[in-house]
Structure 1
Amino acid sequence: MASSDNYNARHLSVLEGLEAVRKRPGMYIGSTDSRGLMHCLWEIIDNSVDEALGGFGQAIGVVLHADGSVEVQDDGRGIPVDVEPKTGLSGLEVVFTKLHAGGKFGGGSYSASGGLHGVGASVVNALSARLDVEVDRGGKTYGMQFRRGEPGKFTDKGRKKADATFTPHESATPPEIIGKAKRGVTGTRIRYWADDHIFTPDAKFSYEDLQNRARQTSFLVPGLRITLRDERGLPGTPGAEGPHEEIFQHDGGISEFVDYLSSDSPVTDIWRFQGSGSFHEKVPVIDNNGRSHIEDVQRVCEVDVALRWGIGYDTSLRTFVNIIATPKGGTHSAGFEQALLKSFRKNVEANARKLKFGQKDKLEKDDVLAGLTAVLTVRLAEPQFEGQTKEILGTPQVRQIVSKVVEKALNERLGSTKRAEKAEASTLLEKVVNEMKSRVSARMHKETQRRKTALESSTLPTKLLDCRSKEVGKSELFIVEGDSALGTARLARSSEYQALLPIRGKILNVQKASISDMLSNAECAAMIQVIGAGSGRSFDIEQARYGKIILMTDADVDGAHIRTLLLTLFYRYMRPMIEHGRVYAAVPPLHRIEVINPGSKQNEVVYTYSESEMNKLLAQLERDGRRYKEPIQRYKGLGEMDADQLAETTMDPRHRMLRRVGIDHAQAAEEVFDLLMGSDVAPRKKFIIDGADDLERERIDV
């Protein structure tokens, strides 16, 4: 605000609307932390994206400056600088000082855009300690400066600063001509410093969020080039060691976006559905005399969907309105899900006999959404959002339009008579029915599982050696490889809090198997039943019967293979156990070295866990002149240890070493397993050929 000495009517006319923004910023940007700070940046970037979406620009640049400011530049048409007749102000000043003003009202400039509330640039301006804008139009470069929404002039020279001396304009002042622009060059450059009186001290621009948004936008606007540059040098960011720059450009559309988002093996190819519908909407219109009246306007809603199903159960649905993300959905996502469920119910019932679908069976939404990756975009003029943050689409007519477009296209695809499409549809319908059966089966498992001993209930596998303690936090379940290791582990464990569950060799490869195949596999079903928290979507970590799950396999190639299979099972069907840090891998030793002590002193036993560790120890003993018994014992399996050795090295909490499995480790294990044993052969062949020259015979465990 201006000081009391020069506070006049001019300031009132400009700030009356923006003052409300400064008093209640949460109404406009959601919050005043990092999330709100990023929302301001999205408002500016979205204006540039709307220009590109309308075909008026091909490049956007975003720079995070070291002084805390951010700059957004584009090669669009440039904000108009001529006088707006109603206010007598330049178009540039109107855009940055008036709420609900801009090119997105009246329908003349944008047929569909993201910034429909018309408060974006003005709200960012109001919440900025300083904002500088430059516009290239008609061979000239125009400039204008603002402080907390108020137009004026900063007197700094050279490096720009937010706290430089500022002189407000006393009357309507046209933008200043600050230079020349090349013929045919147009565009807008906006640099602003967020007001630290408004935003919390820890509010910072997130480069990761900016990176994700830029990548997302480049998918949604094919051909648009977005350049990000981070000059802040913040620790933990890609630009920590110096300026970091990335360019995002994708010439494909949302089909490529779905391919990027997909992580599991495919059940279907990527399907693309497009269509449109129209509806009538009553909107208030203000005539030239300032009077408001209601008009009936016809709107057109364009729908574009790309989707594919994979073998997993996770759902990734991204929805957009005029390329603005709606993370909380709205009428368009409701129409999409309604169409999916209606279409699948119709097609499953039509193939009930083939799919073994009973009359009492009923598909639910989760059965259809399992394994789905989809991007849904709708484009329409003046959509209704719930709130300025635009996270939920509220236009009610969109629901039915999206539903009709998707249902019609999906019915055609699922009912196709073409050989390839028919086979794909059949596989998908089987997957959906299996999801339904697995959901029912998992619910029944969950209802019957209780924390009981083997004497109280026969529902738990007989091969489980349970512990006596019912305190979940202290209990541990060891998943043991083979019966021979089980015999030793049985003697080595503390039966008070350590339970044992043996598995016979290598379990099912769940990377390629369906959920029903996984549940019907004895080893997989036993683990899910013993842990007692369900699987997949129905998994409830609060029901888990053990505080720690410890994978105890042999220290050889087969043991590593089994551990990878087990991790893949946990990652795909019991992921919360990994996310909460409750899955561990035991680390059994590879060697037992008995160091000879002189005289009657008892020999010392040392365990090593790798070849390099053993060689290092032997070299140290040789330097110290100490001897050891030969041959050195090499453990090929857990069954070769006696109970005392297994307890001391692997099971006793006082001496053992455990490796906690993180979500990144499990994801990496699944990716490696998908490469080595997935259904896609080409990447595996390439991996084998590329690595053949580096393989040493000695590294193969025989």
Structure 2
Amino acid sequence: MARKQEYGNESITSLKGADRVRKRPAVIFGSDGVEGCAHSIFEIVSNSIDEARDGHGDTINVTRCKDGSVIVEDFGRGMPVDWNKGEERYNWELLFCEMYAGGKYGEGEDNYEFSLGLNGLGLCATQYASAWMTADIYRDGFHYHLDFQKGENVGGLHKEPYKGRRTGSIIHWKPDDEVFTDIDVPGSYYKDVLRRQAVVNAGLTLNFTDEKEKDPATGKPWKESWCYEHGIADYVAETAGEDSLTPVFSCESEATGRDREDQPDYKVKMSAAFCFSNKVQLLEYYHNSSWLEHGGSPEHAVRTAFVYQINKYLKDKNLYKKGESAISFQDVQDCLVYVSSSFSTRTSYENQTKKAITNKFVSQAMTDFLKHYLEVYFLEKPDEAQKICQQVLVNKQSREHAEKTRQSIKKTLSTQIDLANRVQKFVDCRTKDASRRELYIVEGDSAMGAVKTSRDSEYQAIMPIRGKILNCLKADYARIFKSDVIVDLIKVMGCGVELGGKHNKELATFNLDNLRFNKIVICTDADVDGYQIRTLVLTMLYRLTPTLINEGYVYIAESPLYEITTKDRTYFAYTEPEKATFLEEIGDKKYTIQRSKGLGENDPEMMWLTTMNPESRRLIKVMPTDVERTAQVFDILLGDNLAGRKEHIAQHGAEYLDDLDVS
């Protein structure tokens, strides 16, 4: 047995050079998967954006190459890579091979006053995490070229005179799949990031070429460009559309302060653009051009300022009823289209991925800034102020009504199924193993009798429904949950409901883990009435428990159309072509053929063979594919789209004349 190494002074080691990133990418990029790889790409883009925002260049080109490599080209000053007398090293060594080095650390902070990449890790960290990287830099009348392989320089610095007028940098690299578990960053990530950077950098053009995606119109690589001449104001206007409740209001200001008394002052530059809409809702925060997915300080400011000003208006105008509770930010958010962009010379990010900032002074400054401009806005635009506050009150009432509905639904569905409180006519099975249990939803009492006598009572349970249930696509939730049939069925399934919509997300009581069955089988007669009942049950599941369909728990039991009997054998034909095939197979033998009876008239043996026996039954799994098309068909056939239904019947009605149950 090998002797265990002692833990002593020689046990302590440190990662050096490229290994600091290559062996621990998640520490720098937040993940060693595709998200971390995406962040490493953003670090290079952000350097070019910092240069452009500082007034050097107005265009950045980004290319997602076929081989998985990435090219970022800017037209700024070109990064300095030649000999640095002060450091007694080449600048390229500091920029590409030294953590925490760059042009953002000077005492006066003359370069990049408001920087997206303050931590100085980006270029070096991405270089360390690449399989290879090349850099072409144009500045001071020279063209500089550098090559790197797996974090190490190859061949030093190549320098040659350049007579062209352009300046800037071209960085071309391939993320290393030895560092990241997945380097296939999707094109959608690039589009989202570049669009967002165009939003908060007014006048900056960002061009994207995707060699992995073809333009269907031309067959050439996909190309897309973004430029917002007026930045966030144009973006808010574009998002809200032409029918917003109020026009876009924009404002900007600066402030100087500190996070703590013992820390130095720093500058904050703030801008915001917003409007109100009863159709669109958006909240986006940016700091030093970085999208703050998790908000932090700017989000705290928005919540505080908007609720304060609107609440003050409602109180001053006596628009609250006696004893009525105050508005919440949710009521404001439901009609607010808001984007803020702030910059600061000192920034405290939650971590290197920059998804939230924690600066206390930024929060305080932005709160005061927004309170002031909202007060001015409400005074200068009283009609718009009234519109806004009335819409917020409507949102509040809707939220409170939704909460009452949620409580009512919770109370309705919380009753447990037990011996003392049984859902009427539900017949349970013996096993408690949910992975084996099957629930047959059958049409009427007679069908229930046939299914009950033919089932395997160990794992097959039965829930009868009486006639045509409520059309859940047209009914509101209050009416739906007054239906005993629907409530009983939800109780039996055990998983609760999931209600869509802006306010109804909080009403969901759905939990897939509580589903008491592995299969929900809809079992109806093979006639017009049976098909309609089947459709109504599917509609109910589609509206109230769509996850059951998406996860493959819902099935339809096929019933045979014909029973063909010979001296030796009985055939069950489920379609007209099957009937023809069986008759051809039978040939000259004598046979009897009859249209299959309703489920309630079938004998137990036939029910077992055709509907219940896993070895011989035919179950159709209801698939979640083409959900949009399913929604359209449900809307046409069962929703409020009367014009669409009329047109559908006019176009396709003749196809179903033979199926009509009329004499």
Q: 1:620 to 1:177 in 2, by over 3 A?
A: farther
Offset at 1:123?
Answer: 0.9
Give, in whole Å, the separation in 2 of the partners of 1:307 and 1:551. Answer: 45
Q: 1:473 to 1:463 in 2, by over 3 A?
A: same
List gaps (5 residues or longer) in structure 2: 1-14, 499-507
Give the alignment of 1:423-438 within 5 angstroms. Answer: 425=392, 427-438=394-405
2:486 counterpart of 1:505:
no
Q: What do the CA deviations read for 1:574-633 (whole angstroms, capped 9, x no partner)? A: 455455x36212142362251x54xx424x212325xxxx32651574377467868763
Q: 1:425 to 1:543 in 2, by over 3 A?
A: same
Q: What do the CA deviations read for 1:521-550 (whole angstroms, capped 9, x no partner)? A: 555444433333433343233333334333
Other structure's SS at 1:143 match: strand
Offset at 1:249?
Answer: 3.9
Give, in whole Å, the separation in 1 of the partners of 2:449 and 2:319. Answer: 50
Q: 1:544 to 1:323 in 2, by over 3 A?
A: farther
2:283 counterpart of 1:295:
no
List gaps (5 residues or longer) in structure 1: 1-14, 154-168, 232-236, 285-292
- 2:129 matched to which residue of 1? 127
Give the alignment of 1:333-372 within 5 angstroms. Answer: 333-336=299-302
Contact kept? 2:248, 2:274, Cα under 8 Å: yes
Q: 1:692 to 1:543 in 2, by over 3 A?
A: closer
Q: 1:346 to 1:373 in 2, by over 3 A?
A: closer
- 1:245 matched to which residue of 2? 221
Q: 1:325 to 1:306 in 2, by over 3 A?
A: farther
Q: For residue 652 of structure 1, what is the amino acid of its counterpart?
A: N
- 2:502 matched to which residue of 1? none
2:615 counterpart of 1:654:
yes
Q: For residue 438 of structure 2, what is the amino acid of its counterpart?
A: E
Give, in whole Å, the separation in 1 of the partners of 2:232 and 2:436. Answer: 48
Q: What do the CA deviations read for 1:438-465 (whole angstroms, capped 9, x no partner)? A: 333344346x433413xx12xx543544
Give, in whole Å, the separation in 2 of the partners of 1:499 and 1:134. Answer: 72
Which residue of 393, 396, 419 corresponds with 2:360?
396
Give, in whole Å, the separation in 2 of the partners of 1:132 and 1:244. Answer: 26
Q: 1:251 to 1:152 in 2, by over 3 A?
A: closer
Q: For residue 60 of structure 1, what is the amino acid of its counterpart?
A: N
Q: For residue 118 of structure 2, what is the amino acid of its counterpart?
A: L
- 1:71 matched to which residue of 2? 71
- 1:214 matched to which residue of 2? 191
Contact kept? 1:586, 1:659, Cα under 8 Å: yes
Give, in whole Å, the separation in 1 of the partners of 2:233 and 2:644. Answer: 26
Q: 1:546 to 1:134 in 2, by over 3 A?
A: same
Which residue of 169, 180, 183 corresponds with 1:188?
169
Give, in whole Å, the separation in 2 of the partners of 1:271 and 1:554. Answer: 57
Give the alignment of 1:623-638 within 5 angstroms. Answer: 625=587, 633=595
2:535 counterpart of 1:535:
no
Q: For residue 462 of structure 1, what is the amino acid of its counterpart?
A: Q
Q: 1:631 to 1:260 in 2, by over 3 A?
A: farther
- 1:159 matched to which residue of 2? none
Contact kept? 2:194, 2:206, Cα under 8 Å: no
Q: For residue 352 of structure 2, what is the amino acid of its counterpart?
A: Q
Q: 1:129 to 1:299 in 2, by over 3 A?
A: same
Single out whichever of 654-663 and 302-311 deviates more from structure 2.
302-311
Q: For residue 192 of structure 2, what is the amino acid of its counterpart?
A: R
Q: CA RMSD in A?
A: 5.1
Give, in whole Å, the separation in 1 of the partners of 2:611 and 2:244. Answer: 44
- Matched residue pairs, number? 611
Could you tell me the percent identity over the aligned residues? 22
Give, in whole Å, the separation in 1 of the partners of 2:328 and 2:390. Answer: 23
Give, in whole Å, the separation in 2 of the partners of 1:372 and 1:478. Answer: 44
- 1:165 matched to which residue of 2? none
**TM-score, normalised via structure 1 length:** 0.69
Give, in whole Å, the separation in 1 of the partners of 2:555 and 2:483. Answer: 23
Other structure's SS at 1:204 match: coil
Offset at 1:569?
Answer: 1.6
Give, in whole Å, the separation in 1 of the partners of 2:343 and 2:84. Answer: 27
Other structure's SS at 2:357 match: coil
**TM-score, normalised via structure 2 length:** 0.72
Offset at 1:212?
Answer: 3.3
Contact kept? 1:142, 1:179, Cα under 8 Å: no
- 1:622 matched to which residue of 2? 584
Other structure's SS at 1:539 match: coil
Offset at 1:191?
Answer: 1.9
Give, in whole Å, the separation in 1 of the partners of 2:133 and 2:619. Answer: 55
Give, in whole Å, the separation in 2 of the partners of 1:645 and 1:142. Answer: 84
